[in-house]
Structure formats: structure tokens, C-alpha cells
Amino acid sequence: MGQRTPLYDLHLALGAKLVDFNGWDMPLHYGSQVDEHHQVRNDCGVFDVSHMTIIDVEGTGAEAFLRYLLANDVARLDTPGKALYSTLLNDHGGVLDDLVVYRLAHGYRLVVNAATRARDLAWLEARSEGFEVRWRERDDLAMLAIQGPKARARSVELVSSSRASLIDGLQPFQGFADGDWFIARTGYTGEDGVEIILPAGEAAGFFNELVGAGIAPIGLGARDTLRLEAGLNLYGQDLDEHVSPLSASLEWSIAWTPAERDFVGRAALEAQRQAGDLPKRVGLVLEERGVLRAHQVVRINGIGEGEITSGSFSPTLGKSIALARVPAATGERAEVEIRGKWYPVRVVRPAFVRHGKPLI
């Protein structure tokens, strides 16, 4: 038996097909993964993402510590309420994890991946010497993601008036506390929406209210196809400790300036950037029938080979898409080997769908 979120019994009651997800028993879907995908693209749905690890960082040295620990710069969060995405790197510039950091009224809140929880906590410990900082894992909290074009409009109807006006006023990548809830306009689907972090004991009741109001429960299966269409990396598939953020379309999340800010992995990244020989991340589109999958080989005529890191069927586009790591010189065409046969694929910028609209 795996770990269970506070919503486990509710998932069962809603007919979820449960799967093991990094040691957690999580809903894969509640009937049809494809229907749930469309539900989020066209309307809205709610995900239980309580398996994710929430870490609150405090202390007079919290800012200095996170500026040293993260490739993005928390000094950019100049007021409480702002959030940013960052990678957590090792000394070789490999990605140990990717995360969102929110600036709270006092300190910071990190939301990191479930699979990397233990290693992240050990890393914080190992790198915190000399900083006046402490942190606390918030396993007393649950987390729900309400995502889709109607997510904010629908959820304001179901919360207190102060939380409703908070949701109404949120800019993208902003998050604020209201009582013991924390509400942010973030997500992992390429759609608008909010993520709500709330006491574990309140999660099932609120989830039930959302579902009762017609906001469909969505499993992790649709979460994967939604994030793939949005071109968002999945840690453990598209990113790992051997991958540089420079090979994962994440250069935007590295704060190179100010130049005097030293952060873990900076020297390695600068050397990589200087050398300029890293592979790059691209999107692939299969025009024929078939499904691209992780680890299939990508062949680029006259240039070399790469590998698919995530692939699936895109419900929005009705064809298969993938993220792949390929030689930097790769142009517009490539081939992928599926069960011993080579299929032509189109090479595109790695974002396929945003806000319900195809980008390719």
C-alpha cells in the first residue's frame, strides 16, 4: 500500500482508477483520461496534488539561502505574493528538482516534486551551513489545483467572499494567504487556474463541494497530457540530475544577473554555455497514426541522434506529440523509431497548446 492523500477515500467513492505514483496511491482517471483532458481545456476541473511536498522556509537568512540554492533569483520576488519557477541544481549544473517558490508575508514557500522529497530535504540540510535559516515540511496541508478557462470564475462561487475577491484579483504567478488557506494563480496545464493549499482536514470537504458544483475531478493521466501539450517538463522524465536546464528550454529560469550572485551550479552552467555544445529540447509531431513514447530514438539525417523524453497522444490535436532532446543543429524534420519502423516527424517549438489553442 502506498501513501494516501486526505482525499483517498473520496477518490475511491468517485470511481477513480488508482495507480502508484512515486509511492503514492493517486487517481489516474475517474473514467476517461481523454474526456478529463478536454474538460480542463474547455471548462475546468480539479486535481488532487496533495502528494507534492510543501516546504516553508524562514529565518533572517532565508532570502540569502534561497539565492544561493536556486538557479532563479528570489530577490526578484520583491513583495509578498509573488512567485517564480526555479530549478534546483547540483554542482555540475544538473537538475535535482524543479519547483515553484512563493514569497509569503514571512519567508518563502517551496512546492517541490513528491518523488524528490527526501533528496531535496537532504540537499537543503547539506547546503544550509552558515545561513540563518530553518524550514518545515508542511505535511499537515493538502493541495488542490483547479484548472481551466472557467476555473477562477467557477471557484469564486464556492469560497468565502474574502477568498473570492482574492481569486478575482490574482495576477498570474501571484499567491496570497487567506486565513489558513493559500491561493495562487499557478498550475501545470497551460490553462488559467488556481492552486489552493489548505489544511488537510478541510480538503475532502472542499473537493466534494467543487465536484458537487460540477467541477469535474481530473486524474494524473490528464495532468500528464495537459502539461505535455503545454510543453512543460516533467521531473524524472524530461529533467533529471544529468540534464542541464540549458538542454531543457529552461534558460529563461536561470537568473544570470546580478553576476556576483553565486548559486549552486552557476560555474558549471557558465562553462556549458561557453562551450555551447549541449543538446536542445524540441517538440515533435507525428503526422501519421501511431504514438510517440519516452525513450524512442530520434534520428536527424546527417546530424545525429536524440531521444524522446515524454511522448503521448495529444487529445487536443488528435495526433501524437513528444518532447525530445536532440543535437543543437537539428532542423525541421526528424525520424522516430517505433517498434522497429522509422516514422517521419515534424520538429517544432516545444509548446503545442496554450489556453485551449493549438500553437503548431
Partner 1 sequence: MSEIRADLRYAASHEWARLEADGTVTVGISDHAQEALGDVVFIELPAVGKQLSAGQEAGVVESVKAASDIYAPLGGEVVAVNETLGDSPEAVNGDPYGSWFFKLKPSDPAELEKLLDAGAYQAALDAEG
- The angle subtended at Cα 332 by Cα 226 and Cα 233, nearest 5°, is 30
Q: Using CB under 8 A, which of the segments 29-37, 87-95, 198-206, 258-266 binds partner 1?
A: 29-37
Check whether 125 is labelled as a binding-site residue. no
269 or 338, CB closer to partner 1?
338
- Confirm if 25 and 7 have CB atoms less than 8 A apart: no
Q: Using CB under 8 A, which of the segments 27-35, 52-60, 195-203, 326-334 binds partner 1?
A: 27-35
36 or 97, CB closer to partner 1?
36
Length of the chain: 360
Q: Does 1 bind partner 1 (CB under 8 A)?
A: no
Binding mask 43-72 for partner 1 (x = CB under 8 A): ------------------------------
- Strand blocks (E) in 93-151: 95-103, 108-112, 134-137, 141-147
Q: Does 313 bind partner 1 (CB under 8 A)?
A: yes
Q: Which residues contact 172 (CB under 8 A, 6 or more apart)?
A: 185, 186, 192
Work out how close the CB of 341 gets to partner 1 at its nearest, in angstroms, rounded to a whole number.
10
24 or 313, CB closer to partner 1?
313
Q: Does 339 bind partner 1 (CB under 8 A)?
A: yes
Using the rule CB under 8 A, which residue among 33, 87, 155, 233 binds partner 1? 33
Using the rule CB under 8 A, which residue among 53, 312, 316, 330 binds partner 1? 312
Backbone angles phi and psi of 220, in degrees to 5: -70, -20
Q: Does 340 bind partner 1 (CB under 8 A)?
A: no
The kind and range of the H/E element at 318 are none
SS3 60: coil
293 or 354, CB closer to partner 1?
293
Count, in order, helices (H) and strands (E) of the chain: 9, 21
Using the rule CB under 8 A, which residue among 14, 21, 22, 34 binds partner 1? 34
Three-state SS sequence of 175-198 = EEEECCEEEECCCCCCCCEEEEEE
268 or 291, CB closer to partner 1?
291
Binding mask 252-291 for partner 1 (x = CB under 8 A): -------------------------------------xxx
SS3 142: strand
Q: Does 4 bind partner 1 (CB under 8 A)?
A: no
The candidate with the shortest Cα–Cα distance to 294, out of 306, 305, 277, is 306
Using the rule CB under 8 A, which residue among 127, 293, 346, 354 binds partner 1? 293
Work out how close the CB of 29 gets to partner 1 at its nearest, in angstroms, rounded to a whole number.
7
The phi-psi region of residue 148 (left if phi > 0; otherwise alpha if psi is between -120 and 50; otherwise beta) is left
Work out how close the CB of 281 gets to partner 1 at its nearest, in angstroms, rounded to a whole number.
22
- Confirm if 237 and 312 have CB atoms less than 8 A apart: no
Work out how close the CB of 313 gets to partner 1 at its nearest, in angstroms, rounded to a whole number.
4
Distance CA 186, CA 250 (A): 17
Q: Cα dist. 183→83, 115, 277, 339 in Å?
A: 12, 23, 41, 45
Using the rule CB under 8 A, which residue among 25, 26, 27, 29 binds partner 1? 29
Q: Which residues contact 182 (CB under 8 A, 6 or more apart)?
A: 102, 104, 109, 175, 176, 196, 197, 198
Binding mask 210-229 for partner 1 (x = CB under 8 A): -----------x---x----
Q: Which residues are annotated as a binding site?
A: 195
Q: Give contact residues for partner 1 (rule: CB under 8 A).
A: 17, 28-29, 32-34, 221, 225, 289-291, 293, 312-313, 315, 320, 339
Instruction: Please give the annotated binding residues for substrate, written as ranges.
Output: 195
